[in-house]
């Protein structure tokens, strides 16, 4: 795909040329077909703040990058928001950041974790309520150790596909990875940062995107972009662990430790700490529980009873319920059943949150209290910051969770559909084997069911991925662990140490 760069547009002028007299009566030539053009918007502000205990002057830039087809027709407008220390220093690391979905804008990591400003919402798993939502200085931003570039892929944030662009060209595992990699290359070009230390990373599906982007950047022979680190937050790489369909036992195995930590948090099981119950559940899940599920109908009655008792102890669910579920409790059922006696449900993104359904009789919750408990604050914050503080002008709505990408997403990888075994972790292993300087940081919340911590461990501890270059970090919150004040500070400190350790 060709591109139009935001800082390289030059005005074109046509020179008037007098025609010879003999040619005056000749038929006028048809005008050449014109290629539609877009004027990229670029807004900058020079600001300063204290991050990681250091005073930093920086330039904030929100800009359009236009990706075009081979004929020069604009296909996608991708908005980036960058924060670069001033004066610019090419020796500084640069961290390219995106969220997940697919369809999620970078608002969550930008206004919640790493940007110079953050939205203030309750830290203790309470609903964010009604506006106004304070926009605060964020001392936990990583600007003291790296320049930051937040990317909103097409269909997220203010980014969009132009009229007539086929969604299949951009909405998919490989297509999206290719577009984000192209934006990274263009930013490096425009800012003279090809030899800077480089980190890429994201949250949730953003970790899957990272696998695709690193393959685009490092997997080819030409125009190779070397990377120093991959930063994965709430990791999902192996999708088989997220599909609790009949016959797929792994989904029950990888979610069991998350059930145990949620039950512990809500006082349904006893243990010294979340870490302690998580370790007990890991050992049981990969040992007796996995063995029992794989035996199917050959499971002896005495072994079944022993597994059922231990499962009840770890999850807080009754043996009667577990037997009725055939030892296989889906996450959706668990959200409803754990606190049914209290008339409450628990959250999917963060099981610390509780909600109240229309009634307590159903099998699954009406909604996710850990999402509707935070979304309004983040949406308000990104619109105030981008439109009013940085001056970005558009009539488009900011898509914090855009529907269009997900509705059109191509989940195929190497010619296989999503119904096949979709696992992008081997792409990370390949990149690490071929780049001896590439390290990986993985962050997981104990109370996350969207991307369970045990699923991330299972994905990244398998053959082909160098274990001596992986840093693991755990937090006492859920999918977006930075919502909790203590964990935002810890996440920031952990990543800061990871970047400095290069």
SS (HEC) of 78-125: EEEEEEEECCCCCCCCEEEEECCCCCECCHHHHHHHHCCEEECCCCCC
362 and 423 housed in the same domain: no
**370, 389, 418 — which closes off a domain?**
370
Please report the pLDDT score of residue 336 as a whole number.
96
> Contact, 35 vs 71, CB < 8 A?
yes
DSSP 418: T
| pLDDT score of 22 more than 90 | no
pTM > 0.85: yes
What band does 221 get if pLDDT is binned at 50, 70 and 90?
low
Are 76 and 50 within 8 A, CB to CB?
A: no
Enclosing H/E stretch for 42: strand 42-51
Residue 8, pLDDT score? 37
Q: What is the DSSP letter of 262?
A: H
Burial 25-38 (b: 16+ CB within 10 A, else e): eeeeeeeeeeeeee
Cα distance between residue 299 and residue 270, in whole Å: 28
Q: How many helices (H) and strands (E) does the chain have?
A: 15, 15
Residue 384 and residue 362 share a domain: no
108 and 190 together in one domain:
yes
Q: CB count, 10 Å around CB of 142?
A: 26
Above pLDDT 70, what percent of the chain? 91
User: Do 275 and 388 share a domain, yes or no?
Assistant: no
213 backbone dihedrals φ, ψ, rounded to 5°: -70, -40
- Does residue 419 register a pLDDT over 70? no
- Percentage, residues of the chain above pLDDT 90: 80
- Asked whether residue 82 is assigned to any structural domain, the reply reads yes
Residue 302: pLDDT above 90? yes
Q: In whole numbers, what is the pLDDT of the chain averaged over residues?
A: 90
Please check whether residue 55 is in contact with residue 459, taking contact to mean a CB–CB distance below 8 angstroms: no
Residue 298 has what pLDDT? 97
Of 370, 387, 405, which marks where a domain is finished?
Answer: 370
What's the total number of domains in the chain? 2
Mean pLDDT value of segment 256-263: 98
User: Per mean pLDDT, which range of 174-178, 277-281, 402-406 is the poorest?
Assistant: 402-406
Mean pLDDT is lowest, of 35-49, 170-184, 229-243, for: 35-49
With the C-alpha atoms ordered 444, 235, 355, 379, is the resulting torsion angle positive or negative? positive
303 and 352 together in one domain: yes
At 372 the pLDDT is: 82
Distant-in-sequence, close-in-space partners of 12: CB < 8 Å, separation ≥ 6: none
CA distance 87 to 89: 6
Q: Is residue 178 part of a domain?
A: yes
Domain shared by 140 and 266, yes or no = no
The Cβ-side half-sphere exposure at 175, using a 13 Å CA radius, reads 19
Say yes or no: 252 and 232 in one domain: no
Q: Return d(Cα 338, Cα 265) in angstroms, integer.
A: 11
> For residue 230, which of 197, 262, 261, 254 has the smallest C-alpha distance?
197
| pLDDT surpasses 50 at 31 | no
Classify residue 313: in a domain, yes or no.
Answer: yes
- The band of 41, judged by pLDDT with boundaries at 50, 70 and 90, is very high
Q: Do residues 340 and 284 both lie within one domain?
A: yes
Domain final residue pick, 320, 346, 370:
370
Average pLDDT score over residue span 444-472? 97
Tens digit of each residue's pLDDT (9 = 90 or more) over 347-364? 999 999 999 999 999 999
Claim to verify: residue 230 and residue 260 sit in the same structural domain: no
pLDDT band at 184 (very low <50, low <70, confident <90, very high): very high
What domain range is 320 assigned to?
A: 246-370
Q: In CATH, what number is assigned to the domain containing residue 428?
A: 3.40.50.1820
Q: Phi and psi of 46, rounded to 5°?
A: -95, 125
Q: What pLDDT does 125 receive?
A: 77
Confirm whether 427 is domain-assigned.
Answer: yes
- Please tell me the predicted confidence (pLDDT) of residue 30: 45
353 plus 265 within the same structural domain? yes
Clarify whether residues 337 and 470 are in a common domain: no
Q: Determine the longest span between alpha carbons in the chain, in angstroms.
A: 105
Q: Is the pLDDT of residue 7 over 80?
A: no
């Amino acid at each position: 795909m060709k591109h139009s760069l935001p800082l390289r547009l030059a005005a074109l002028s046509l020179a008037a040329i007098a025609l010879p007299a003999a040619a005056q009566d000749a038929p006028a030539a048809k005008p050449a077909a014109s290629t539609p053009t877009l004027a990229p918007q670029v807004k900058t502000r020079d600001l300063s703040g204290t991050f990681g205990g250091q005073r930093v002057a920086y330039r904030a830039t929100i800009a359009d990058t236009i990706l075009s087809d081979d004929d020069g027709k604009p296909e996608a407008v991708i908005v980036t928001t960058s924060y670069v220390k001033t004066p610019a220093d090419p020796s500084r690391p640069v961290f390219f950041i995106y969220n997940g979905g697919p369809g999620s804008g970078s608002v969550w990591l930008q206004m919640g974790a790493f940007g110079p400003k953050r939205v203030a919402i309750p830290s203790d798993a309470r609903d964010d309520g009604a506006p106004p939502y304070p926009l605060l200085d964020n001392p936990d931003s990583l600007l003291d150790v790296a320049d930051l570039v937040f990317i909103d892929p097409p269909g997220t944030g203010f980014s969009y596909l132009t009229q007539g662009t086929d969604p299949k060209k951009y909405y998919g595992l490989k297509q999206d990875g290719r577009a984000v990699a192209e934006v990274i290359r263009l930013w490096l070009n425009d800012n003279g940062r090809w030899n800077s230390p480089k980190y890429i990373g994201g949250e949730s599906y953003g970790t899957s995107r990272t696998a695709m982007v690193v393959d685009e950047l490092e997997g080819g022979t030409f125009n190779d972009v070397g990377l120093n680190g991959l930063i994965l937050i709430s990791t999902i790489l192996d999708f088989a662990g997220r599909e609790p369909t009949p016959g797929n036992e792994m989904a029950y195995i990888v979610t069991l430790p998350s059930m145990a930590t949620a039950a512990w948090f809500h006082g349904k099981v006893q243990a010294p700490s979340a870490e302690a119950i998580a370790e007990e559940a890991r050992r049981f899940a990969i040992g007796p529980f996995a063995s029992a599920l794989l035996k199917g109908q050959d499971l002896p009655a005495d072994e079944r009873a022993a597994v059922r008792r231990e499962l009840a102890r770890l999850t807080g669910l009754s043996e009667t319920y577990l037997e009725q579920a055939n030892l296989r409790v889906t996450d959706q059922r668990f959200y409803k059943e754990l606190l049914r006696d209290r008339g409450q449900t628990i959250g999917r993104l963060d099981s610390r949150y509780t909600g109240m359904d229309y009634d307590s009789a159903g099998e699954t919750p009406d909604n996710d209290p850990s999402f509707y408990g935070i979304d309004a604050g983040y949406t308000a914050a990104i619109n105030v910051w981008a439109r009013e503080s940085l001056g970005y002008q558009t009539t488009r709505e900011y898509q914090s969770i855009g529907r269009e990408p997900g509705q059109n997403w191509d989940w195929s990888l190497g010619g296989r559909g999503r119904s096949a075994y979709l696992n992008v972790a081997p792409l990370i292993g390949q990149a690490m084997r071929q780049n001896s300087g590439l390290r990986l940081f993985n962050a997981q919340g104990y109370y996350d069911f969207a991307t369970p911590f045990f699923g991330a461990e299972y994905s990244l501890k398998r053959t082909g991925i160098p274990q001596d270059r992986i840093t693991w970090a755990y937090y006492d919150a859920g999918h977006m662990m930075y919502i909790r004040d203590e964990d935002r500070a810890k996440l920031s400190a952990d990543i800061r140490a990871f970047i400095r350790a290069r």
